[in-house]
Amino acid sequence: MTSNPLWQCSAADVVRALKAGEVSPREALDAAYARIDAVEPSIHAMPTLCPDRAYEQAMQIEADIATKAARRTDPTWLAGLPIAIKDLSDVSGVRTTYGSPIFADHVPTESDFLVQRLEANGAVIIGKTNTPEFGAGGHSFNAVFPTTTTPWKTDRSAGGSSGGSAAALASGEAWLATGSDYGGSLRTPASFCGVVGLRPSPGRVADGPNSVPFESVAVSGPMARTVADTALFLDAMVGRDDRDPRSWPAPDVAFFDALNTPPKTVRAAFSADLGITPIDPEVAAICQAAVSKLSDAGWLISENIPNFTGAMEAFHALRAASFAAGRGAEWADHREALKPEIIWNVERGLNQSGETLATAEQARGALVSRLQTFFETQTLLLAPTACMPPFPADWRYPEALGDAPFTDYMDWLRLPCVLSITGCPVLSLPVGITEDGLPVGLQLCGANGSEHAVLAAAAQAEAILGMLGTTPINPVSPAP
């Protein structure tokens, strides 16, 4: 371990120290809760804490460290590392609101599948991170808790819907935090907070209980400050769960170990707008500069991207159907309590025709086919994570970029949304900082199931671009 405060150390270093007995789980908890006390009032990232439950878990894991030597070499075991859980996931005995006033006092008796796996793999849950209502939207505000802001400038959005997780990571409240992603919900916050977020292939991480178990777009995934820590966390998440019919077995090679074999040649294509969205000029320039550095370092980069025409229309139809299926009960019983964006999404799903949904599925299939052809010769598709830097926290969502209007609360999220429906793993990597001191992320999208390759390339890019060590930071208040 270094002489730095524990909250500044990487998750991988803290796990090594926990396994070696150099740091105890309770000492790690002390550091996490002290940091939360120091910075939480500035960013509102983690509104629900569970210290009694966490210290009880930590004491049990301390006994396991002493008696179960084999686990010390297990790459899936976190050895008592404190982590944060997004408030869309049930944690037994811990207030879980889903960001909705309907569930403001909800305390589940059972944890969801991912939480069960993480606790079995030695994670200690310190609290729940903030999210918009039912995860709807790219900005983490709701009617239950204060709005989450990015620590880079505390009057700006942390993104959403995993904004609480991203802000907690960037400010040092947690070493690892869970995210979930339908239309960029862990990638946009990663970009807005200068951390790493990986949307895995559907089925890579088991989810549930789920009223729509064959949902094919929504996934859960890891968020961390570095690519290595993201790989470490993914190893603790993956594995077959018979309760989730989509779930895959754990891979033979740990994702963390894949970082030991850098890619020999990365072939990639880059577009600042994927041909579908307006883009902030400074964001485009920062991403282009990062891509140029990668090219100078030997990456083979072209502009020959797949055609994304019609992809956003398909996304909207699929998302509407998903909201009608997943949130239809709340719409029927508590419509007056829902935010208008959810009502709009559910009603769009209920009212759209079968022909609309069939057309969307066909368009999605055609896009997947084009991506499959693309990845026959290319390693990655590269694009900005968000079309703009973090926006003012008092906005509900951006209504325009320059002279280009956005038609609804998801329209500004086109860049992550269209990659979601491909079923490909996508990682958001910090690649630069604006003149105003706000972080910018780049998406690295690989072929379905290629998380090892995506992580290895991202680790190489991280080293080339020199963004390691930019988080955690102390929250920055806006200038008066």
Q: Based on the residue annotation, tell me whether 185 is a catalytic residue of this protein.
A: yes
- Is 37 exposed, middle or buried, given 0-12, 13-18 or 19+ CB atoms closer than 10 A? exposed
Rg (C-alpha) for the chain, rounded Å, is: 21
Q: Which of 19, 86, 128, 153 is catalytic?
A: 86
Query: Structure tokens of 479?
Result: 């200038």
User: 216: cis peptide before it, omega within 30°?
Assistant: no
Residue 246: strand pairing partners: none
**What are the Cα distances from residue 144, in Å, to 50, 95, 129, 140?**
18, 12, 12, 11
Instruction: Report phi then psi at 474, rounded to 5.
Output: -80, 135
Q: Could you say which of 185, 201, 220, 247 is catalytic?
A: 185
Closest alpha carbon to 430 in 218, 192, 78:
192
Q: Which of 10, 140, 157, 161 is catalytic?
A: 161
Edge-first strand listing for the sheet containing 196-199: 48-49, 124-129, 82-86, 176-181, 219-224, 196-199, 426-433, 439-445, 380-384, 267-270, 300-302
Q: Which residues contact 120 (CB under 8 A, 6 or more apart)?
A: none
Instruction: Mark whether 86 is an active-site residue.
Output: yes
Residues catalogued as catalytic: 86, 161, 185
